[in-house]
Structure 1
């Protein structure tokens, strides 16, 4: 899809990109026949022969159109004075406005070739000349069923004819065309005003001439012709098309069927590319507006949450022992560190490790720790998935309040106590902890660290204030066991069992809180392949959970807050913005070569800036050093694109109805918790 998008945007840039204005200064005229630059002429480069118009005869040419606003005015003036002209149309505009091409032909005028993109042919090779001419022929064939024998090269007139221009004319002749050069140019493209256009268009003597008028630049062309034509006719001048003045036997040919079909396809491609470019520019503005909206929400809500969190204290102390459930499958690399960190908690805990049919030494390591530490229990089961392991742990727990921790997570000593303190509020059913990336030494780890702080923890602050948290992370979260049991246990309906469980609790009326001071450290994927698998599962599972709990949108209470606040925010900023972001980036890159490049570039930079500002806010609120944000520009170029594609793949997978298996990532046990002052 991106390849097709790039192709269409490339076509739009080729057709609508900025153009040079005016003739280049003439260079050497070596090898150029003097007759070619002696005045208005028609050149057959195949001979080569040069012909000039008869005295007091004006060949009227109109170039650069057709234009939907100004070309009809020119046609009306010509019809009023009974004058035929030769319209040298650009292939791009002919494809954009095929109805005007047919109107020109139906009015009895001639059609000529002005190239497709309006490029200066003096600076290109023979292949590009061929493509420019053939594409315009396709547009004419598709629009009016004809092809043109006459070519008027952009930026080339008798006065600017030099060695390079003559070589370009010879290339045109290689493709069987005749070239028309003007010696009178209205200069209408400069928009000098009506009087100047009229003066530039008036012959200075009785010699015949070829006049160049511009019908895509404003009303001056039509107004000047309305005054010039009767003036010339009164003084005995004959004004006609190029074919009429030079008495050419054929200036146009009937197009072949294959050219008509190809022309129709070309016209369709040009029109689709133009529509797409316009729509994507609107999409860029929409994406920027969404980023601005998120920044506004963050600026309002995040400081509010930080002040409230600093002032909040539990009304009374919870002293009961807490069961900490650790589902483990092939976690031998880090399970020992996880268990030790839990045992070091300030709050009384019991560690329940559920070995989900591991094929490595996970169970053996926990058994040895169980013999040394009475508060460690090992429960074995056949491999049934994380959700089943959590349910097994819940059944084995002896406490009403439980904490769930992944097998690759290391807890800070005060984490458990700070989580369970929130359960002094009887309406709280779950509490999310603050998960940090432990292996942030390499660039990929630093990028994920930035993502955790900005993309996850900052959003959780907003969710907490709005009472609509969609996910308590599996790496660290606390729950009321009775609330989970009331919801039917941990479900395996989705691949994001933590998101599914959180939404189920809120739909049952429970509030979900966020404790930013409850810290844990997790091992992030070390390779892009592992990262892709993890985020693919996360995103796909989240979409599954959103679909499963979609009825929350019409429910009341805590469920309604989730459905009408949390789910739209999640879909809008974590899915929708991610899906359109790569399209926005591609659009911005191609738009840099378009006429509105400055505006688009400013909008795109604003989009990136609006994503960077929340990063600084999030790092400050989390007490993190800002140094990792130095990798943010490169993250926008590489890491962000990977995440975009993950979301796109997840959305397509979800729409197709496919189901993904659980994907276990290999762990290395390389978690390095940092003291608060060094983060």
Structure 2
């Protein structure tokens, strides 16, 4: 049954892509980029450099959100080097506050929001495809945050095996059925400047991008997803960092379900939000049932039977083949079965922290993953 549903999602997503294919806009120098930065000394200069090299970018507005490392020093040096960089320093307010402060300096009709650890290809039309959606009437549009594998360890490679194709399939299907994608990622989103100024970001949650996306949908704005824009944020290199990051995402999701409870009864809630939660509930129940059956029957071999069934290995290998073509790395196909690690990780965090967040509305303090320098190809 799950295989049939997955195939149906893939076919629907492909048909939607073919029907709604657009050419990229050619309006160069028409986008302002807002780049919040907190303790980003390792990768800030490279990110600013590639953004300024992008033909669609008018200016980069980088907001140093009270960093305690050399971010401020590096930002000031970059501002002297590049006239189209607007350097803003402020006391620490959180990412939402930094983005809203940066928005005060925007002069373009649309702004692109991304993160300081994210590589945005300077020589493609990725931003042009987002801009084409804005020109077609969208108020906000998100792309795909893939994985930056430059200087990355083993975990980012495992994460990259299925990340890009699964985001493309899920968010396209959500657009088709729910009217809008589940989220516009903070690493890759374009907004009409006037719309963002009206709605604004909030730091009431640790997932300001999810909170904003649902707010825009609730207020009737046209929110879309675009598969032709792909950016490359860094992934975590340790299980500890991954636990902290996924805990923020999962508990933030749970808290947003409380904050946006009326939205759950709408088309968007029924087809974009609740299915994401249902998959977790059903998945946890299925694993517990399978383990209870397999352990008495297969003993020590039961985890292999439960977590690496043949159907799983075949399906994820096929999905990973797409990622392997995208990243030009065949190793991703071999690593694909180990993507179950992230399934187990998410289920465990939901059990330990997510349900508590759903019941209490409280989130843990925001933890920052360790950054690493990357090489721009």
TM-score > 0.5 by shorter chain:
yes
Match of 1:572 in 2: 278
**Structure 1 residue 530 corresponds to structure 2 residue 241:** yes
SS at 1:410 equivalent: coil
**1:304 maps onto 2:10 in alignment:** no
1:457 aligns with 2:168: yes
Distance 1:320 1:653, change over 3 A: same
2:141 is aligned with 1:438: no
Does residue 469 of the first structure (1) align with residue 181 of the second (2)?
yes
Q: Which residue of 1 aligns with 2:206?
A: 495
Instruction: Map 1:366-445 to 2 at 5 A.
Output: 366-413=75-122, 414=124, 415-426=126-137, 428-439=138-149, 441-445=152-156
Checking the alignment, whether the CA contact within 8 Å between 1:468 and 1:561 is kept in structure 2 is no
- Specify the alignment match of 1:634 in structure 2: 338
Q: Which runs of 5+ in 2 are unaligned?
A: none
Please state if 1:583 is matched with 2:294.
no
Q: Is the 8 A contact 2:321 2:333 kept in 1?
A: no
Quickly say closer, same or farther: Cα 1:337–1:435, change in 2 above 3 A. same
Matched, 1:355 2:355: no
Match of 1:545 among 256, 272, 292: 256
Check 1:455–1:365 CA distance in 2 against 1; reply closer, same or farther (3 A cut). same
Is the alpha carbon distance of 1:586 and 1:624 closer, same or farther for their aligned partners in structure 2, counting shifts above 3 Å?
farther
Q: CA RMSD in A?
A: 2.9
TM-score normalised by the chain length of structure 2: 0.88
Do 1:328 and 1:356's aligned partners in 2 also have CA atoms closer than 8 Å? yes
**Separation in structure 2 between the aligned mates of residue 623 and residue 572 of structure 1, nearest angstrom:** 31
Equivalent of 1:313 in 23, 28, 33: 23
Greater RCO between the two (CA within 8 Å, min separation 6)?
2
Q: Identify unmatched segments of 5+ residues in structure 1.
A: 1-288, 555-559, 674-679
CA distance in 2, matches of 1:430, 1:621: 29
> Is the CA contact (8 Å cut-off) linking 2:188 and 2:231 kept in structure 1?
yes
Q: Deviations over 1:441-470 (max 9, x none)?
A: 532111111242244333122223332212
SS of 2:144's equivalent in the other structure is strand
Seen in structure 2, the aligned counterparts of structure 1 residues 642 and 633 have a Cα distance that, compared at 3 Å, is same
The 2-side partners of 1:602 and 1:354 are apart by 47
* Contact 2:36/2:116 (<8 A) preserved: yes
Query: Where in structure 2 are the equivalents of 1:106-117 lying within 5 Å?
Result: none
Select the residue among 612, 637, 652 that pairs with 2:316: 612
User: Which protein shows a greater Rg?
Assistant: 1
TM-superposed CA distance for 1:400, in Å, is 2.3
- After superposition, the Cα gap between the structure-2 partners of 1:578 and 1:474, relative to the gap in structure 1 and judged at 3 Å, is farther
CA offsets, 1:286-334, max 9 Å, x none? xxx4x3354133232232244246x4226x7545631100010000000
